Amino acid sequence: MEPIFDVLRELSEKNEDIVLSDEMFELMKPIIQKFNINQHKVYNSWKNYEVLKHSHCNNEDELTYISDSMISRDKVEIVKNVESKLKWLNGLPQPEQRTPEWYSYRHTVITASSMSQIFEGKSKYKNILKEKVLPEKERQFSSTAALSHGVRNEPVAQSIYEMLTETKISEYGCIKHPSIPYIGASPDGIVTSSKCKKKLGHMLEIKCLYSRKLTGIPLYKYWVQCQIQLEVCKLEYCDFFEIKLNENLSEEEFYSKIRDKTHKQFYGIVIEYAVHDSETNKTKNNWIYSPINLTEQEFITWSSNNLKQFSENDENTWYVRSYYWELLKYSNRLIKRNREWFKYIRPKIDSFWKEVEDKREILKNDKSGEIQQTMFPEKPEKPEPLKLDICLIDTDDDEPISTLNVPENKSPIKSSNLEICLIDSDDEI
C-alpha cells in the first residue's frame, strides 16, 4: 500500500488547504470499498505510514506504541473512578510558577515536556543531564516569535476546544508521579465538566502551531509528553489539540469578514498590553481575550471598553497592539495511555535518574569547580559575527513582519527584559 500512500500524500502536500491524516484516509474509502479491501487493516497501515513520516521518532521500536495509542473515539470507555481521581488531583500541592518552591520542584523531577530528550540521542541527553545535575537557577528567557505565539494563543485554543466538545477545562500546576518521585508533569488542563460522561477526566494538551505544518500526527516529543502526563495523573485519554490561526487580519478585514459572513468557524480579538516593573526593570506582556464569535457591534463595544484602561499618562502600563484572528484549522487527536510503552521505557528513565544522583553526589565535594568543568565542559565561545548596517531576515514563513504599535512616548519592548514563562520547550506551545 505504501506506493499508493506516497501518491496521496504528495497530492495533499500540493494542496493549498491543510489536509489532515484522517481526512486523507476518508479520500481512500471509496477505493477501499470498491475493491472490497479490509478497511481496518488499511487504516492501521495508513496510521503506521503517517507516524513514520510525521512523528520524527528515531526509534523504530516505539513506532508501533505510538500508532496503537492513536485510537478512534468509538473505542473510548468511561474512565473508572474518575470522580475520585479528580478529587485526588485537586488535593495535590501545586507550587505557583516562578516561586522558589517551583524552581525547587523542577529540579527534583524529569518533566513530561522534557522527558523525550532522554531517548533522542547523545546531544539532547547530555543537555537534560546537565540541567538536572547542576543546581537549579532562575533563568531569564528571551522570547521568540513562535513561543510568544504559543503562550498568547493557548487560552484561545482552550476556549475553542471547550466550545467544540461542550466541556469545561480545569487547569493544574506541577504534579509529581504518585510512586516515582522523579517524574512530574504540568498538564494544560483536564476535563472536569462535560455533557458526555465519556469525556470526563480526559486530559488536554494544546499546541498552537506557528510555522510547523498541521498533519494530525503528534511529534514524538509531544506524544511522550502526553504519555507521561497520563501516567503521572493516572488518567486514560488525552486530547492532543492543535490549532492553526490566521492572526494577520487587519481591523478592516476582520469586520468586513463578519459583515460578509466569510469568516472561518471561530474568530475573535486579543488585546496585548505591556506592564513595566520599575524595581526590576522588567517588562511583561499580558493579554485580554474577547469572547469568540461576537457580532461586529459587540466586538467594537468590547474593544472600546477594554482600551479605555490604557492611559497615555501611565508610564508603566501601555497598549501594544490588537490581534484580529480566525481559526484556519484544528486537529483533535485522541491518544490512549500506553502502559506497555511505559513499561518498555521505564528502565531508561530509572537509569537516567540514577546517573543524575550519582553525578550530584560526586559534585558535592567539588570546591574548585574542576570536576564540574570536566563533567560538563563549556563550549568555546564563537567569534562575534561581522556587524553590517543592513537588515538580513531569514524566514521560511510567508507571513509579513509586523511592527509593535507602541505610543510615541514609549520605547519598544526589549526582548532581554520580556518575562515569559517558557518551560522545557523548543517549539510552539
In three-state form (DSSP H/G/I as H, E/B as E, the rest C), the secondary structure along 47-108 is HHHHHHHHCCCCCHHHHHHHHHHECCHHHCCCCCCHHHHHHHHHCCCCCCCCCHHHHHHHHC
Quick check: 15 pLDDT over 70? yes
- Averaged confidence pLDDT in the chain: 87
Distance CA 244, CA 212 (A): 9
45 and 86, same domain (yes or no): no
CATH number, domain of 412, equals: 3.90.320.10
151 and 14, same domain (yes or no): no
**pLDDT at residue number 392:** 45
Backbone angles phi, psi at 197, to 5 degrees: -60, -30
Quick check: 98 pLDDT over 70? no
**pLDDT at residue number 386:** 58
The structural domain count of the chain equals 2
Among residues 194, 171, 185, the alpha carbon closest in space to that of 76 is found at 194
pLDDT band at 70 (very low <50, low <70, confident <90, very high): very high
Quick check: 3 pLDDT over 90? no
- Tens of pLDDT, residue by residue over 104-134, are 788 899 999 999 999 999 999 999 999 999 9
- Tens of pLDDT, residue by residue over 149-166, are 999 999 999 999 999 999
Which residue has better confidence, 137 or 254? 254
Distance CA 411, CA 402 (A): 16
**pLDDT at residue number 271:** 98
CB within 8 Å of 402: residues ≥ 6 apart: 248, 321
Distance CA 321, CA 404 (A): 6
Q: Per mean pLDDT, which of 4-18, 45-59, 408-422 is the most reliable?
A: 45-59
203 and 313, same domain (yes or no): yes
Read off the pLDDT of each residue in 248-262 and give the average, rounded to a whole number.
97
Q: Per mean pLDDT, which of 6-10, 293-297, 390-394 is the most reliable?
A: 293-297
40 and 168, same domain (yes or no): no
147 and 107, same domain (yes or no): yes
Quick check: 95 pLDDT over 90? no
pLDDT band at 8 (very low <50, low <70, confident <90, very high): confident
pLDDT band at 381 (very low <50, low <70, confident <90, very high): low
Q: Which domain holds residue 31?
A: 2-54
Among residues 416, 429, 407, 408, the alpha carbon closest in space to that of 283 is found at 416
120 and 193, same domain (yes or no): yes
Read off the pLDDT of each residue in 192-217 and give the average, rounded to a whole number.
96
Q: Is 383 within the bounds of a domain?
A: no
106 and 43, same domain (yes or no): no
Quick check: 413 pLDDT over 50? no
Read off the pLDDT of each residue in 396-403 and give the average, rounded to a whole number.
42
Alpha helices in 197-266, H assignment, sequence order: 220-233, 251-260
**pLDDT at residue number 313:** 80
**pLDDT at residue number 55:** 97
**pLDDT at residue number 12:** 72
163 and 310, same domain (yes or no): yes
Q: Is 395 within the bounds of a domain?
A: no
For the chain, give the percent of residues with pLDDT over 90. 70
Quick check: 399 pLDDT over 80? no
186 and 226, same domain (yes or no): yes
Q: Is 379 within the bounds of a domain?
A: no
48 and 96, same domain (yes or no): no
Taking the CA of residue 49 as centre, how many other CA atoms within 13 Å lie in the half-sphere pointing to its CB? 19
**pLDDT at residue number 139:** 52
Among residues 104, 103, 101, 108, the alpha carbon closest in space to that of 356 is found at 108
Read off the pLDDT of each residue in 320-342 and give the average, rounded to a whole number.
98
**pLDDT at residue number 141:** 54
